[in-house]
Amino acid sequence: MLNIDVEEERKVILREYRKLLKKAKPFLKDGDAKLIKKAFLTSLEAHKDMRRKSGEPYILHPIAVATIAVEEIGLGTTSIIAALLHDVVEDTDWEMEDIEREFGMKVAPIIDGLTKISGVFEYGTSQQAENFRKMLLTLSKDVRVILIKLADRLHNMRTLESMPRNKQLKITSETIYLYAPLAHRLGLYAIKSELEDLHLKYTENEVYRDIAAKINETRAARQKFIRNFIGPVEGELDKLKWPYNIKGRPKSIYSIWNKMKKQNIPFEEVYDLFAIRIIVDAPVENEKAACWEVYSIVTDFYKPNPDRLRDWISTPKANGYESLHTTVMSEKGQWVEVQIRTKRMDDIAEKGYAAHWKYKDSYTNPEQTRLEQWISRVREMLESNDTSAIEFVDDFRSNLFSDEVFVFTPKGDLKTLPNRSTALDFAFDIHTEVGAKCLGAKVNQKLVPLNYELKNGDQVEILTSNKQKPSKDWLRFVVSSKAKSKIKDLLKEDKKMAALEGKEIVFRKLKQMKIDPRDEVINKIRAYFDEKTPLDLYYGIATGKHDAKLIKRFQEEVLKEKDNSNHRIQSLNDANSFERELKKVKGQDMLLIGEDLDVVDYKIAACCNPIPGDEVFGFVTVNEGIKIHRTSCPNAPELLSNHGNRVIKARWTSQQEIAFLAGLQIIGTDRVGLISDVTQIISSELKVNMQSISVDTKDGIFEGKIHLFVQSTKHLDKLIDKLKAVRGIVKVNRYD
């Protein structure tokens, strides 16, 4: 039984509430404090009997979300009220009508956007994706919904410690899949970095702790380096007429880990572990000149890398980010990234969208409307999209992290498109009809095909024909969400017409066989023909891809088959039904890998090849039974985010010694007898079976890839350590 000190808890709640009011005080207008108090008391009453998994009173969560919204994003009174009330409709007896009546029409739509969709979802859809779509659709009305949701997600990630492991994986996967890219796109760099770091903390804890410890160990040396680096520059900066501030910031743990993985290097070889930021407090009209003046001073002392100059002041990023980045060579022979910006730019870089609005009246540069342009492009995409929720989220997400390419219309108007956009993306950006009839384009007066990849500064003229029709191939080379969704819509219309005919054929066949065409039967036919959705099945039948006569064979093979085993679990559609069945048969709801093959079929996923010792989960696939994935699998974020209802708990059993396939990459300096030494350790010393070995040597550098069978991560680690000790070998890595 939990011992609760009611008086102490009341003091904690009041202290946190007063802290929130103190942060909000500078911008409160008459009557605002009264409204915030009303929202606080309403939330306090609604959540009075609720506790978080950590045991603390639930009300502390909405207060924390409101505090993040004010302090870290810079939102105002309406957002504070919405943040305090964000879980009231979802978790208590309050209805949307009550919110509207008590708090008005400004707050109600925000709360509605933050409230999850309830109800039963049909097979093949995803409740998480539907909720993402509902939340994202509110972008077309009020971007504050997304900003409060990011504050909510940040607090949930900060307090994830007390959640069960399967919930941790689900929440952290959603975070890296959608929320961190959203924070990035809305210019919330500090929040984006923290979300990414926390994701790493809960998915690869050892890696996270190791990098964090190394950053900590190098702090003193880093600070000394920064002092020495800025020493010569400061004298000249002091002569400027503007005040300035210099910060040295280490890169986030996640971005260091990404660089280590991408370049296949250890921590010690990541050269740009930190950036030096010079912030000038110059008025708006002098900002550009002031930043270039600082750049001139820095490059007088240190040699810049000409390939690493990034001017986001002349052309800001789509999320409003403005800064001048250069990489210079220090006296110690180390590359250092220097970021130069003004106080206003730094504010926007830290607080993103909300700060952008704060400066809107005082700064009328047309470049400042970039963020609004992006929001309106997103609105357009959201409002005209009728794809499935999973497709929708995937399309939306694919555009969140992309950089931009800047091109011009024949009249000289600037258009911003996602990086790697083609002439066809440009056509759809102008208008859906222009895209649908696009035949080709003229770029800089030269004729180019539809799939021509646009480059910065290109001037583009689209050529159209009334005879042109969109084709499925177009989807292969467009990158913008708008073009993808419009092409899918146009193709879907054709597909729907054909699918109606196919549906009639399937229903007629089932009627002849006296089978009721209920959803369960249609899904079994869909799986039998290896199609993703019933629409694909009907389309396949209509276009002759599948022979309708095979439905008869399906009846004989699938519907009439009798399972001889009383204890074998048949393929089920979701985790809950599978876990219920497993509990009936085995008395537990967790799949034991290596032990439960007698009751259920499962396979090791080829995308990540987990081995005993890896942390894993099971995934109920549409057509291929259960697949076992590593929690660090490249596909894990998408599976756990969009299909959490099909994820099952799984762990290795130590009862059986089974061999699992793993891949090793070996790099070193070539010498006679090296391969012999490597195979000697693998086959003779450690008795490991090899499936294959491929070796490539170039200019004295040896690179080998070996596929071998191991019993566990311990077994693999022992092998890696032995191989690293071989003369000439520089690196040994496991790869998927």
Dump the DSSP string for 86-128: TTHHHHSS--HHHHHHHHHHHHHHHHHHHSPP-S---TT--HH
Residue 371: which H helix or E strand, with range? helix 370-383
Judged on CB neighbours under 10 Å (0-12, 13-18, 19+), 471 is exposed
Nearest one of 362, 355, 357, 353 to 319, comparing CA atoms: 353
pLDDT band with cut points at 50, 70 and 90 for residue 372: low
Distance of CA 704 to the CA centre of its chain: 32
Query: Catalytic one among 90, 386, 601, 717?
Result: 90
Residue 424: which H helix or E strand, with range? helix 423-430
Mean pLDDT of 464-476: 88
Given a cut of 60, whether residue 121 has pLDDT beyond it is no
Token couple for 461: 């003229």
Mean pLDDT of 426-446: 91
Name the average pLDDT for the chain.
81
Mean pLDDT of 147-168: 90
Which of the residue ranges 153-167, 410-424, 543-557, 558-572 has the most confident prediction, judged by mean pLDDT?
Answer: 153-167
Q: For the beta carbon of residue 306, count every other beta carbon within 10 angstroms.
A: 8
Q: For the beta carbon of residue 615, count every other beta carbon within 10 angstroms.
A: 17
Phi, psi dihedrals of residue 644, rounded to the nearest 5°: -55, -30
Q: Is 574 a catalytic residue?
A: no
Identify the pLDDT of residue 670.
79
Amino acid at the residue 672: V
Angle made by CA atoms 267, 273, 276, in degrees to the nearest 5: 170
Identify the pLDDT of residue 367.
43
Token couple for 563: 């399972």
pTM confidence score: 0.71
Token couple for 732: 């040994």
Q: How far apart are CA 226 and CA 244, in angstroms?
A: 16
Q: How far apart are CA 488 and CA 492, in angstroms?
A: 6
Q: How far apart are CA 734 and CA 613, in angstroms?
A: 14
Give percent above pLDDT 70 in the chain: 83
In three-state secondary structure terms, 535 is helix
**Crossing angle, helix 189-203 and helix 253-263, to 10 degrees?**
70
pLDDT digits (tens, 9 = 90+) for 190-220: 899 999 999 999 998 989 999 999 888 888 8
Q: Are 238 and 210 in contact (CB under 8 A)?
A: no
Non-local (6+) Cβ contacts of 454 within 8 A are 405, 407, 417, 421, 422, 423, 425, 426, 443, 460
pLDDT higher at 378 or 188: 188
Non-local (6+) Cβ contacts of 153 within 8 A are 175, 179, 195
Token couple for 345: 């730019």
- In whole angstroms, how far apart are CA 119 and each of 498, 579, 600? 31, 21, 30
Nearest one of 569, 601, 604, 570 to 585, comparing CA atoms: 569
For the chain, the residue count is 736
DSSP per-residue string spanning 273-304: SEEEEEEE---GGGHHHHHHHHHHHHHHHSEE
Half-sphere exposure of 160 (CA within 13 A, CB side): 24
pLDDT band with cut points at 50, 70 and 90 for residue 559: low
Domains by residue range for the chain, with CATH: 6-209 (1.10.3210.10), 212-364 (3.30.460.10), 370-482 (3.10.20.30), 490-559 (no CATH), 575-652 (no CATH), 660-735 (3.30.70.260)
Distance of CA 546 to the CA centre of its chain: 37
Non-local (6+) Cβ contacts of 400 within 8 A are 178, 181, 182, 184, 185
In three-state secondary structure terms, 665 is strand
Q: Are 444 and 393 in contact (CB under 8 A)?
A: no
Non-local (6+) Cβ contacts of 702 within 8 A are 666, 667, 668, 669, 670, 674, 695, 696, 728
- In whole angstroms, how far apart are CA 87 and each of 59, 84, 440? 10, 8, 51
Phi, psi dihedrals of residue 310, rounded to the nearest 5°: -125, 115
pLDDT higher at 379 or 508: 508
Q: Are 276 and 230 in contact (CB under 8 A)?
A: yes
Nearest one of 9, 93, 81, 96 to 51, comparing CA atoms: 9
pLDDT digits (tens, 9 = 90+) for 321-367: 889 999 998 887 888 889 999 998 888 887 776 666 555 544 444 44
Q: How far apart are CA 479 and CA 419, in angstroms?
A: 8
pLDDT band with cut points at 50, 70 and 90 for residue 301: very high
Tell the residue number behind the tokens 């607080």, with chain if given.
351
Given a cut of 80, whether residue 384 has pLDDT beyond it is no
Token couple for 532: 């993703």
Half-sphere exposure of 82 (CA within 13 A, CB side): 30
Identify the pLDDT of residue 293.
94
Query: Catalytic one among 45, 91, 501, 519?
Result: 91
Non-local (6+) Cβ contacts of 587 within 8 A are none
Angle made by CA atoms 170, 173, 535, in degrees to the nearest 5: 85
By mean pLDDT, which of 201-205, 316-320, 565-569 is the weakest?
A: 565-569
What DSSP designation does 58 have? T
Q: Is 293 a catalytic residue?
A: no
Given a cut of 90, whether residue 694 has pLDDT beyond it is no
Phi, psi dihedrals of residue 710, rounded to the nearest 5°: -125, 165
| Pairing between β-strand 274-280 and β-strand 335-342 as defined by DSSP bridges | parallel
Judged on CB neighbours under 10 Å (0-12, 13-18, 19+), 123 is middle
